[in-house]
């Protein structure tokens, strides 16, 4: 079943009981395809690679990220003609006081010392561990979903590379945008994406609650830990210059896709973001 043009513009939040929300006529996640075909549920012909049917709350993550790419680069008027970097932050990201200073330093550093860098990663998942020692240090490497998906900055040139792979992005059977991006890097995008990474993270993750964790989360404690980390790091903020501390191999990193993205309705909706309404 393919969505109409009006359906393609819907969101999970506004349409919780029909696509792209969870339609009661959809197949249950763990139903076998044989039983799904017998019952006639809507997406019986389109389980994922592991035999599971779509879950709306899972698919919305990849939808939102791809829609956001298009919206920022194509629909925001102030962005027209801008070709520099755009930093993508999430609502549970805590940025350090010298974030913008460090961002500008990374941009200048990339121009002079890494002109072939495709992306910047202003954050990492190490928090403020060894921050004083690493505050002014950066490295270059190939983009990896588990390391470089926080405080990520990309340029219009990279955005266009991604758009050239829209069909592959929108049909690759992984509900994670970052794992999908890693798949594209070195396959559909022939030259693997190279990233300049801040070893002293300027972005801290405070989200104890989210897609993969819903029980026992205490966001106020995560915020408190970030504040305490800042106190230990504040004397090493605002470095006057950056130092290249390593240059790792830039190569395609294959992985086992996670599934959750087998429904052709998701493929169509995802691809539709690139079309002007």
What residues are designated binding site for substrate?
Answer: 60-64
Task: Please report the pLDDT score of residue 253 as a whole number.
Answer: 87
Q: What is the reported pLDDT for 123?
A: 93
Q: Could you give all domains of the chain from N- to C-terminal order, each with its CATH number?
A: 61-247 (3.90.550)
Q: Would you state the structure tokens that stand for residue 237, as one six-digit string?
A: 């903020």
Query: 235 is written with which tokens?
Result: 């004397």
Q: Do 121 and 147 meet the contact criterion of CB atoms below 8 Å apart?
A: yes
Per-residue model confidence (pLDDT) at position 276 = 55
pLDDT of residue 225: 75
Q: Tens of pLDDT along 100-140?
A: 999 999 999 999 999 999 999 999 988 888 999 999 999 99
What local confidence, expressed as pLDDT, does residue 29 receive?
A: 97
pTM of the predicted model as reported, rounded to 2 decimal places: 0.87
Residue positions forming the annotated binding site for Mn(2+): 92, 205
pLDDT of residue 215: 60
Taking CA atoms, 203 is separated from 102, 128, 152, 176, 212, in Å, by 11, 9, 10, 21, 20
pLDDT for 277 equals 41
CB of 264 closer than 8 Å to CB of 47: no
Check residue 13 and give its pLDDT: 83
- Res 47: pLDDT: 98
Q: At what angle do helices 177-184 and 56-70 cross, to 10 degrees?
A: 60
Residue ranges of the annotated binding site are: 60-64, 92, 205
pLDDT score, position 129: 83
| pLDDT-flagged residues of the chain (< 70) | 1-10, 207-217, 219, 276-277
With b for 16 or more beta-carbon neighbours within 10 A and e for fewer, the 103-126 pattern comes to: bebbeebbeeebeebbbbbbbbee
């Amino acid at each position: 079943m393919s969505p109409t043009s009006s359906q393609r513009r819907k969101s999970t939040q506004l349409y919780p009981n029909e696509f792209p929300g969870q339609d009661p006529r959809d197949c249950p996640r763990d139903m076998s395809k044989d039983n799904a075909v017998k019952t006639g549920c809507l997406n019986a012909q389109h389980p994922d690679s592991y035999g599971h049917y779509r879950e709306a709350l899972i698919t919305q993550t990849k939808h939102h990220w791809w829609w956001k790419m298009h919206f920022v680069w194509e629909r925001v008027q102030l962005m027209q003609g801008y070709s520099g970097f755009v930093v993508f932050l999430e609502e549970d990201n805590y940025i350090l006081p010298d974030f913008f200073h460090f961002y500008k330093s990374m941009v200048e550093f990339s121009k002079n010392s890494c002109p072939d860098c495709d992306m910047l990663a202003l954050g990492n998942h190490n928090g403020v561990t060894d921050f004083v020692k690493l505050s002014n240090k950066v490295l270059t490497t190939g983009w990896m979903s588990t390391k470089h998906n926080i405080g990520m900055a990309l340029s219009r040139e990279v955005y266009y590379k991604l758009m050239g792979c829209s069909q592959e992005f929108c049909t690759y059977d992984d509900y994670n945008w970052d794992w999908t991006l890693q798949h594209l890097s070195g396959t559909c995008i022939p030259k693997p994406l190279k990233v300049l990474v801040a070893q002293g993270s300027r972005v801290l993750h405070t989200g104890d609650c989210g897609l993969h964790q819903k029980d026992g989360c205490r966001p106020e404690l995560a915020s408190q830990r970030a504040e305490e980390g800042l106190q230990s790091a504040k004397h090493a903020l605002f470095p006057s210059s950056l130092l290249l501390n390593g240059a790792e191999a830039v190569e395609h990193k294959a992985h086992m896709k996670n599934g959750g993205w087998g429904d052709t309705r998701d493929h169509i909706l995802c691809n539709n973001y690139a079309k002007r309404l």
